[in-house]
């Protein structure tokens, strides 16, 4: 919680600076980190207080029970969706087609962020109907999904929306961005006569330094996301396939351990992109240093 909160706050501050916020990709990065911070508060914090300290109001208050699931489902899917939008934006800005590049605008980024937020807020309304508090033992209550068809629906939904679709789209648009950047490096316009009479060549389209840095940060985020969240999809599929298998006590313990590790990796994605950005981006390090230097000055 501490590392993740600091991570999201620093990212929002940095990408909100006037030197970066005019770039559409920065808008998506801000949206990603706001979503991640809200996911930490709605999903990870209640789980931490429950497992670590035995404090879980959502197990006794129906409204809190439903709102906890509703908020955590929304914000855990909005983060990767906004990351996909950032990868689409970088694929457009690196395109050799002028019209495609012109579609990458700050206005489009803001409209996309708001529209998708409204869409997913509406899509998850069903949680307020099909999530309830059940009694699993004397004086022991648990907040969970309604059993039956809805549980099967949620299982497929989680696998697709959180496990399979985001890595697939991130891979597609990430590879397209890399391909576009390589083409831009090779692309040249026909030879022309310079002022001094010397014949030369020039590039058809070049990227600004900040665009290069944003692309580097985005590709790093994509790699981290795929590496840390693909195990979740694999294990979730395994769980569904072996749900009705007869399992020994040792196998159950091993699966519990793997389950904890997989969900740890799944959740840590929301907490480390600021630190990976520091490693791969000179611009990010410079901007962060500027914040701390000015802070000490005041």
Give the phi and the psi of residue 145 in degrees, each rounded to 5: -75, 150
pLDDT confidence of residue 287: 83
Q: Which residues 6+ apart lie within 8 Å of 269 measured at CB?
A: 79, 224, 225, 228, 229
Average pLDDT, the chain: 86
For residues 97 and 95, give the distance between their C-alpha atoms in angstroms, rounded to a whole number: 5
Query: Whole-angstrom Cα distance, residue 107 to residue 15?
Result: 16
Contacts of 291 (CB under 8 A, 6+ apart): 13, 14
Give 197-244 pLDDT, tens digit per residue: 544 444 445 677 778 889 999 999 999 999 999 999 999 899 888 888
- Fold designation for 2-297: Rhopdopsin 7-helix transmembrane proteins (1.20.1070)
Is residue 163 very low, low, confident or very high in pLDDT (cuts 50, 70, 90)?
A: confident
pLDDT of residue 293: 78
- How far is it, in rounded angstroms, from Cα 88 to Cα 254? 39
How does pLDDT run across 71-130, given as a tens digit for each residue? 999 999 999 999 999 999 999 999 888 898 899 999 999 999 999 999 999 999 999 999
β-pair partners for 142? 134
CA atoms of 212 and 206, how far apart (whole Å):
10
Structure tokens at 100: 């495609």
At 193 the pLDDT is 47
The pLDDT score that the predictor gives to residue 203 is 45
CB 123 within 8 A of CB 160: no
Cβ count near 221 (within 10 Å) = 24
Give the predicted TM-score (pTM) of the model.
0.87
């Amino acid at each position: 919680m501490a590392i993740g909160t600091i991570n999201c706050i620093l990212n929002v501050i940095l990408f909100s600076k006037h030197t970066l916020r005019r770039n559409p990709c920065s808008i998506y990065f801000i949206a990603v980190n706001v979503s991640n911070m809200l996911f930490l508060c709605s999903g990870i914090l209640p789980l931490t207080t429950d497992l670590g300290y035995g404090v879980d109001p959502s197990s006794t208050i129906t409204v809190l029970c439903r709102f906890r699931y509703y908020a955590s489902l929304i914000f855990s899917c909005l983060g990767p969706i906004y990351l996909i939008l950032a990868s689409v934006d970088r694929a457009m800005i690196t395109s050799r087609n002028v019209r495609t590049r012109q579609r990458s605008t700050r206005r489009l980024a803001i409209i996309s962020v708001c529209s998708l937020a409204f869409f997913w807020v509406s899509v998850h309304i069903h949680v307020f109907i099909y999530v309830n508090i059940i009694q699993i033992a004397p004086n022991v209550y648990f907040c969970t999904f309604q059993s039956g068809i809805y549980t099967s629906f949620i299982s497929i939904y989680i696998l697709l929306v959180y496990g399979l679709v985001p890595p697939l789209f991130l891979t597609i648009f990430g590879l397209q961005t890399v391909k576009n950047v390589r083409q831009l490096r090779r692309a040249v316009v026909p030879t022309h006569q310079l002022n001094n009479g010397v014949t030369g060549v020039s590039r058809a389209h070049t990227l600004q330094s900040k665009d290069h840095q944003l692309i580097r940060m985005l590709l790093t985020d994509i790699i981290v996301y795929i590496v840390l969240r693909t195990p979740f999809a694999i294990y979730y599929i395994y769980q569904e396939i072996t749900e009705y298998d007869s399992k020994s006590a040792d196998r159950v313990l091993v699966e519990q351990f793997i389950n904890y590790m997989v969900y740890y990796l799944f959740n840590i994605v929301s907490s480390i992109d600021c630190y990976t950005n520091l490693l791969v981006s000179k611009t990010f390090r410079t901007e962060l240093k500027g914040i701390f230097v000015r802070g000490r000055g005041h």
